[in-house]
Each structure stands twice: as C-alpha cells, then as structure tokens.
Structure 1
Amino acid sequence: MGERKVNQPLPEKIERRLAELLALDEFDEGEVTWCRRSYWDARDDWHKILVACYDMTQRRTSTTAE
C-alpha cells in the first residue's frame, strides 16, 4: 500500500460531493468524518462507492423535485 496522506486535504471535488450528500441528508456528520479519515487508505474503492452513492442521490432528488 502507498504512503498514507492523512494530513493531505481531500480533493475539492470529493469535499464538494461530501457537502452535497450531507445537505441531502444522505450522509451525517459522523459518516463525513469517517470518509475524510479513510479516504487516502481506500481511495480507489471508496471513490467508486462515493460516486455511485452521489449519482443515485442525484437521480432520486431530481425525480422528486419535478
């Protein structure tokens, strides 16, 4: 496994998605904290999961807003 980047900030697009998921009540503060803490160790798998969750949330909220 590569070098841990614990103190390195998350990419802006990841922070933006976390904020959106938090605002949509899909993630709570504890889950966002866990995501930030675990991101660099599990980046590849975690990123795929986060993107899939975000896309699913976007589809759900766009159909309920119409």
Structure 2
Amino acid sequence: MAQRLIRMREVTHRVGLQKTAIYRRIQRGEFPRPIKVGRASGWIEIEVEQWISATIAANRAFAQ
C-alpha cells in the first residue's frame, strides 16, 4: 500500500475532532504527530487510520 499524506481538513473530517482537540492529543502523545513538508504539515494516512481503529477497539473493549 502506498503511503499518502493527508492535510488537517481531511484529518478532522475522518476523526471527528476539531483542530485544537487534535493538537492537544498530539501534545499528550495520544495522536500521531504530523510531518513537515516545506511550510505545510501532513499526517501519514495509515497512522491516522490505525489511531481510528485503536480508538474503536478500546471503546468496544471498555463497553463490554
């Protein structure tokens, strides 16, 4: 699978969190860190998808 960078707009859309919530989680080590590409930042798509999957799994385990 080819790696792809996604920008903040797509990240917020996928995870359902606002920018400030995402940056707070990054500071606490709870969300993947972006990488710099020139002056812009982007997230590695697979890392965001893995975070989503882990969050769902943790939620499901907690609910049982």
**TM bucket normalised to smaller:** 0.3 to 0.5
User: How high is the TM-score relative to the length of structure 1?
Assistant: 0.43
The answer to which structure has the higher helix fraction is 1
Structure-2-length-normalised TM-score: 0.44
Bigger fraction of residues in strand: 2
